[in-house]
Amino acid sequence: MSGGGTEMLLSLPKIHDGTGKTIAYAVKQATDNWKLADQIKAACCDATASNIGKQSGACTLLATSLKRLLLYLPYRHHILEIIIGNVFDMSLDYSIGPDIQLFVRFKK
């Protein structure tokens, strides 16, 4: 969960399979345990069918169990990697090879 400038890992459940139903149940259980289910506004995940499938994806099933719509944020972390990569390229010497000059100098 994240919000108000805070991020918190609520649970790290061991699940028996990677189906949307199992994932949604684990997420719902964790948010219920922490009494945060009413605070959920969005779901961040990768865009696999088990997460965002229209009928049996974890996000869909979670929204159904919460009885409200959620904002889906697929690939949120990957998008930030692209942004920071571009900032890196603009701020430092652009490198098309495996050796980024800043790190080569640092290693020496």
- The whole model's pTM is what? 0.61
Tokens of 48: 């696999």
In angstroms, rounded to a whole number, what is the distance separating the alpha carbons of residues 19 and 27?
12
Range of the domain at 72: 2-107
* Per-residue pLDDT at 97: 64
Q: Where are the beta strands (DSSP E) in the chain?
A: 2-3, 6-7, 42-45, 71-74
What confidence tens digit (pLDDT) does each residue in 51-100 have?
777 788 888 898 999 999 888 777 666 666 677 777 777 776 666 666 66
The percentage of residues in the chain with a pLDDT greater than 70, rounded to a whole number, is 78
Number of domains forming the structure of the chain: 1
Nearest C-alpha neighbor of 73 from the set 106, 99, 40:
40
